[in-house]
């Protein structure tokens, strides 16, 4: 068996083309250009690349994008003041705080300070609470991107046994919740660093989603033949990027698999754009 590659880059490109058309219609109707403001603190090279990619994606679909690059010596008070100014700016529709923030800044306090209507990453507790209740304002970007990947590939989730590896606030927890909700209807097991014998849970799953942050953690012997594998991880090992899945061996067992890079990553950015347009509509038209 050789797994079919799920091309997240190609799917995201189609979604961006659709968003560009939607943006043109919105700007023509409302006279407003969706505007995403990103906050980047310090000089972490990976964070700088991520923000650059997001800015370029915004410009490609007709959005306005600004980056507020602050030194790592910025104080918590100064950072919160910037968030407050962006909250008050009527021409800013989405606010993105690039994580991680350097110590001693407190990311939770900063994320909580973002206006929930501009929280396009869906990190604010109000938006998380709405997600739990099944009436989301925005959907978290990476989990939503994964669900769209599955849908666009024709992979059903109803009644599917899913094992999610990792319980982060960004991916694992919200993804497990979204998979279990009505309409998606999967049966979900959430594994983490304290789960004994993780392979027991991955081998019984129809769908394994790896977001554990350990390079090539999922090996072929942990996967049921014919399972679908979604690799959220991105790790630099020497001079190459690898995921949380041992791609070469697992792809000989799975039915579908996402590559790293080119799998989940482009979908995350596409969903960020979708949320930014939704935020602009909400603040401009109330819908």
| DSSP character string of 123-155 | -SHHHHHHHHTT--SS--HHHHHHHHHHHHHT-
| Strand order from edge to edge, sheet including 64-70 | 64-70, 35-41, 94-97
Asked if residue 168 belongs to a known ligand binding site, the reply is yes
Mean pLDDT of 133-160: 97
**Over 90: is that where the pLDDT of 46 sits?**
no
**Over 80: is that where the pLDDT of 283 sits?**
yes
In our burial notation (b when 16+ CB lie closer than 10 A, e otherwise), range 122-150 reads bbbeebbebbeeeebbbbbbbbbbbbbbb
Mean pLDDT of 250-257: 98
> Are 135 and 148 within 8 A, CB to CB?
no
Select from 103, 11, 6, 24 the least CA-distant residue to 62: 24
**Over 80: is that where the pLDDT of 63 sits?**
yes
Domain annotation for the chain: domains and CATH numbers: 31-115 (3.40.50.10860), 141-265 (3.40.50.720)
pLDDT band, very low/low/confident/very high, at 162 (cuts 50, 70, 90): very high
Which residue numbers are catalytic? 54, 98, 121
Mean pLDDT of 190-203: 96
Asked which of 46-50, 150-154, 204-208 is least confident by mean pLDDT, the reply is 46-50
Per the model's pLDDT, the better-predicted residue between 67 and 286 turns out to be 67
Asked if residue 167 belongs to a known ligand binding site, the reply is yes
Mean pLDDT of 50-62: 95
**Over 90: is that where the pLDDT of 286 sits?**
no
| DSSP character string of 224-282 | -TT-EEEE---EEETTEEE-SB-HHHHTTT-SEE--SSSSHHHHHHHHHHHHHHHHHHH
All residues at 6 or more sequence positions from 229 whose CB lies less than 8 Å from its CB, including other chains: 3, 207, 208, 210, 218, 223, 245, 250, 254, 256, 257, 258
Mean pLDDT of the chain: 96
Select from 131, 101, 137, 107 the least CA-distant residue to 119: 137
Please compute Rg for the chain using Cα positions: 19
- For residue 35, the surrounding DSSP H or E stretch is strand 35-41
All residues at 6 or more sequence positions from 132 whose CB lies less than 8 Å from its CB, including other chains: 177
Mean pLDDT of 230-245: 93
All residues at 6 or more sequence positions from 247 whose CB lies less than 8 Å from its CB, including other chains: 216, 231, 257, 259, 260
Residue 1's pLDDT is: 65
Q: From residue 73, how far is each of 30, 83, 99, 101, 216 by CA, in Å?
A: 40, 17, 16, 11, 35
Per-residue pLDDT of 200-217, as tens digits, reads 999 999 999 999 999 999
Asked which of 5-9, 61-65, 168-172, 236-240 is least confident by mean pLDDT, the reply is 236-240
pTM of the model: 0.95
Asked if residue 166 belongs to a known ligand binding site, the reply is yes
Q: Is the dihedral of CA 207, 210, 211, 212 positive or negative?
A: positive
Asked which of 43-52, 128-137, 247-256 is least confident by mean pLDDT, the reply is 43-52
> Are 276 and 58 within 8 A, CB to CB?
yes
Mean pLDDT of 213-233: 97
The percent of residues above 90 in pLDDT, for the chain, comes to: 95
Length of the chain: 287
Beta bridge partners of 161: 187
- How distant is the alpha carbon of residue 75 from its chain centre? 27
């Amino acid at each position: 068996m050789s797994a079919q590659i799920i091309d997240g880059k190609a799917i995201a490109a189609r979604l961006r083309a659709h968003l560009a058309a939607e943006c043109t219609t919105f700007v023509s109707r409302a006279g407003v250009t969706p505007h995403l403001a990103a906050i980047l603190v310090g000089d972490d090279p990976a964070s700088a690349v991520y923000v650059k990619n997001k800015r370029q994606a915004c410009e490609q679909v007709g959005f306005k994008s600004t980056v507020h690059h602050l030194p790592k010596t910025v104080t918590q008070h100064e950072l919160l003041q910037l968030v407050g100014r962006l909250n008050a700016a009527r021409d800013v529709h989405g606010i993105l705080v690039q994580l991680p923030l350097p110590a001693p800044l407190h990311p939770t306090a900063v994320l909580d300070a973002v206006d929930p209507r501009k929280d396009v990453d869906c990190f604010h507790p109000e938006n998380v609470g709405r997600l739990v209740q099944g009436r989301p304002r925005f959907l978290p970007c990476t989990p939503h991107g994964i669900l769209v990947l599955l849908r666009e590939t024709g992979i059903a989730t109803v009644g599917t046994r899913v094992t999610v590896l990792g319980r982060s606030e960004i991916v694992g927890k919200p993804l497990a919740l979204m998979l279990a909700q009505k309409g998606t209807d999967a049966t979900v097991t959430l594994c983490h660093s304290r789960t004994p014998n993780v392979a027991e849970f991955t081998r019984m799953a129809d769908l394994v989603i790896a977001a554990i942050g350990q390079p090539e953690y999922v090996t072929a012997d942990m996967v049921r033949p014919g399972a679908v594998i979604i690799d959220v991880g991105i790790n630099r090992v020497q001079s190459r990027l690898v995921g949380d899945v041992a791609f070469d061996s697992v792809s000989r067992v799975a039915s579908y698999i996402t590559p790293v890079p080119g799998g989940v990553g482009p979908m995350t950015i596409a969903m960020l754009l979708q949320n930014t347009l939704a935020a602009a509509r909400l603040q401009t038209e109330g819908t």
